Amino acid sequence: MAKILFICAHAPTEIYPQAGQKIALRHLKNYISTGVNVDVLVIANQIEITTATDLFSLVGINVYTYPIKRINKIISCLSHFYVPFKFATRWQNAVLEKLLELLQNNHYDVIHFEYSHAAVYFEYVKQLISLQSTKTIISIHDIIFQSFLRKAENNLLFGIEAARLFSYERTLYYSVNELWVLSKKDRDILNSLFSIPEAKIFIKPPKISSFVYQVQRHPAKIEKKSLLFWAAMNRPENEQAILIFINKCFRPLQQQDPKFKLYIVGASPSKKVLALASQQIMIAGFVENPTPYFEKAEVGIVPLLQGAGIKLKTLEMLEAGLPVIATTVGSEGVDAIDKNLLVNDNFDEWLSLLRNSELWKQN
């Protein structure tokens, strides 16, 4: 019977309210459904590990968890200063010891790294395996270099880190047998920018959340001049996006027409975001079933300025039938042209577009 070693930089779970963890669990389930034996190593925040009861039900005793705290990340970055910071945050000596133990006692047909930074251990793993008999895979959720390059525009330190990431990621991605990406856009970046052969890159599109297919948008239910921002609010790029949108767009929009309202839906909003709550800005936080918000909001917004990778939030709103206005970053990974998606990076123009959404959302 085939045997898989699955190393993950976050806890694979449907329960934790972020898209990446759901994608990781789906990849793991796909392996298990073929009848193989799987050993799983998880390096993640304790709250993710505690939440992931579905992971333990799925895999049983073959799950090895290694919680990380902020102080652990700082120490790892300092002690492994030659490794880009994003990758160094997942380094633990205990993980390496377990990996070496497992590799010495088992033959694995596949070693799968879920998230690029889980592959910080690859240099040590490859010394104990035959790349001819063991397939090595990295499932890339974000091309980390791209994310840091965007931050580098006005910050020299981010520029230096982006340069380190480019070299590190290119070498790493060249070294494994397969790369999994979520969109054609990421495949094209790997092929053109990193010169990775297209034959080793496989597109594995994310699965849309099941609730989306239950959304029924009827004109009588839709609240005119209502906007939906749907995102995991504990991600810095999502918080930055909504704060900038409110400051540059929503406040001026309200001054022109006080009837506009904004729904912010997603887990773990910060105190800074919660402080914005008002009659016009509703902050729902985590909701078990966001269907009502998808049914009543008139327009979805994705004002992202940072980040990389596919934007599942955009795909889900479009799939549910919402017209969506997004920045270029917010529309990444939406490979097909959607008549209900408008891409614009000028927030001054967003004011006019949102006031006159009837002119574009059906075109």
Asked if the domains 3-203 and 210-359 are classified in one and the same CATH topology, the answer is yes
For residue 74, the model assigns a pLDDT of 93
For residue 267, the model assigns a pLDDT of 85
Whether 299 contacts 261, CB under 8 Å: no
For residue 170, the model assigns a pLDDT of 95
Phi, psi of 14 (to 5 degrees): -85, -15
For residue 184, the model assigns a pLDDT of 86
Please choose, from the candidates 116, 121, 107, the residue with its C-alpha nearest in 3D space to the C-alpha of residue 2: 107
Up-side HSE of residue 356: CA atoms within 13 Å toward CB?
8
Please choose, from the candidates 314, 362, 356, the residue with its C-alpha nearest in 3D space to the C-alpha of residue 339: 362
Provide the edge-to-edge strand list for the sheet that holds 63-68. 63-68, 37-45, 3-8, 110-114, 135-139, 178-181, 201-203
For residue 363, the model assigns a pLDDT of 44
Q: Enumerate the domain spans of the chain.
A: 3-203, 210-359
Look at the domain 3-203 and name its fold.
Rossmann fold (3.40.50)
Please choose, from the candidates 145, 280, 278, the residue with its C-alpha nearest in 3D space to the C-alpha of residue 223: 280
300: Cβ–Cβ under 8 A, 6 or more apart, which residues?
A: 227, 228, 229, 230, 314, 317, 318, 322, 323, 324, 325
Whether 181 contacts 158, CB under 8 Å: no
Up-side HSE of residue 117: CA atoms within 13 Å toward CB?
23
203: Cβ–Cβ under 8 A, 6 or more apart, which residues?
A: 180, 181, 182, 183, 184, 187
For residue 187, the model assigns a pLDDT of 93
How far is Cα 75 from Cα 13, in angstroms, rounded to an integer? 27
- Which residue is it, tokens 């059906």? 362
Structure tokens at 59: 């895999």
Per-position pLDDT tens, the chain of length 363: 689 999 999 999 988 877 889 999 999 999 999 999 999 999 999 999 999 999 999 998 899 999 999 998 999 999 999 999 999 999 999 999 999 999 999 999 999 999 999 999 999 888 888 767 899 999 999 888 887 887 777 778 888 898 999 999 999 999 999 999 988 888 999 999 899 999 999 999 888 888 888 899 999 889 999 999 998 888 888 999 999 999 999 999 989 889 999 999 988 899 999 999 999 999 998 888 899 999 999 999 999 988 766 678 888 999 899 999 999 988 887 765 667 888 999 998 998 889 876 655 554
Residue type (1 letter), 326: A
How far is Cα 221 from Cα 260, in angstroms, rounded to an integer? 16
Look at the domain 210-359 and name its fold.
Rossmann fold (3.40.50)
